[in-house]
Structure 1
């Protein structure tokens, strides 16, 4: 099952840098998926892909958003962890209910630059770049909120891992 998940061309993996909303010629929302080594288009909106990826790891987009709210109080345009063990932390560029909402992988960002007008350039660690319809201030805020959320969740996980040995039940014989 896992091999099928990671080999399917329509699935998100730790190599996914962004899922970008695009309009096709009929006005329907599609997704441009940016991977470290390739890019391809999918006939589904980005938030649907994000929800599907969350479900693969035992939750849903709504569940991940609720988790973010519980950990650090972020309620709008909340960053999420699709899978914290593999570092899959993503944040939306707009309300996830908007057809213009794209999702960016926090760990793949190298830097962001002010773009023309209300746009922002995202430069990834592999030096690919994209121009998004989000103000530089909003993008900077999203990056910082994701870093805060990631720090808090990672610390919770580390705490549990460090204390699991202390409370581990005796093995069943």
Structure 2
């Protein structure tokens, strides 16, 4: 059982995963952070929704934005907070009591353990075995990477547009002087 407990948790740059845990007849969340494991009485999906709202956009808005960017409709990765690179993906339907949420920034590697289990190696060399198939985990990692790439492309394109609007085009300079050609015309 995790050492720390909280009733109010917001995803942050230290969050590595949020997994469901049954205690009696209630579903709680075990939150893996870089230095800690925390128990929350909230369901994993509630923490994700609350965290999106905390950073200024509701979950549905994030979900719709993802769908527009990467053109998928199921088990969508979510950008919780793009400035700090907080992207998450789910391993099942978000409302499912078996759904685990992973935060891509912390994942160093992952390997198949069995047909229904994957070993996840986090950046700080912590390892955990999770009850999710390797294929599901790999697909979700790829979708999350694709979402990150598409969002970065849009940001870069916007930066280039802004630079063009502020500075316009600059005339190109020839590598040789035009004096030679001006003298020939005389």
TM-score range, shorter chain: 0.7 to 0.9
The yes-or-no answer on 1:160 pairing with 2:158 is yes
The count of aligned residue pairs is 160
**Partner-residue secondary structure (3-state), 1:86:** coil
Aligned-residue offset at 1:165? 4.2
Aligned-residue offset at 1:32? 0.8
Give the Cα–Cα distance (whole angstroms) in 1 for the partners of residues 26 and 130 of structure 2: 18
Aligned ranges for residues 22-171 of structure 1 at < 5 Å? 22-24=21-23, 26-167=24-165
Alignment match, 1:15: 14
Give the Cα–Cα distance (whole angstroms) in 1 for the partners of residues 71 and 19 of structure 2: 26
Root mean square deviation, CA, Å: 1.6
Aligned-residue offset at 1:39? 1.2
Contact 2:55 2:80 in 1 (8 A): yes
Contact 2:115 2:134 in 1 (8 A): no
Contact 2:80 2:87 in 1 (8 A): yes
- Identify unmatched segments of 5+ residues in structure 2: 1-6, 167-186
Structure exhibiting the larger radius of gyration computed from Cα positions: 2
**Partner-residue secondary structure (3-state), 2:73:** coil
Contact 1:113 1:136 in 2 (8 A): yes
Contact 1:84 1:154 in 2 (8 A): no
Aligned-residue offset at 1:157? 1.6
Give the Cα–Cα distance (whole angstroms) in 2 for the partners of residues 63 and 23 of structure 1: 29
Deviation larger for 129-138 or 66-75: 129-138
| 1:72-91, Cα deviation, whole Å (9 max, x unpaired) | 11110000100111100000
| 1:91-146, Cα deviation, whole Å (9 max, x unpaired) | 00110010111110011101111123411111101111222221111111110111
TM-score normalised according to structure 2 size: 0.81
| 1:7-58, Cα deviation, whole Å (9 max, x unpaired) | x97221111111111111x221111111111111000011110111101122
- Identify unmatched segments of 5+ residues in structure 1: 1-7, 169-173
Give the Cα–Cα distance (whole angstroms) in 1 for the partners of residues 159 and 13 of structure 2: 22
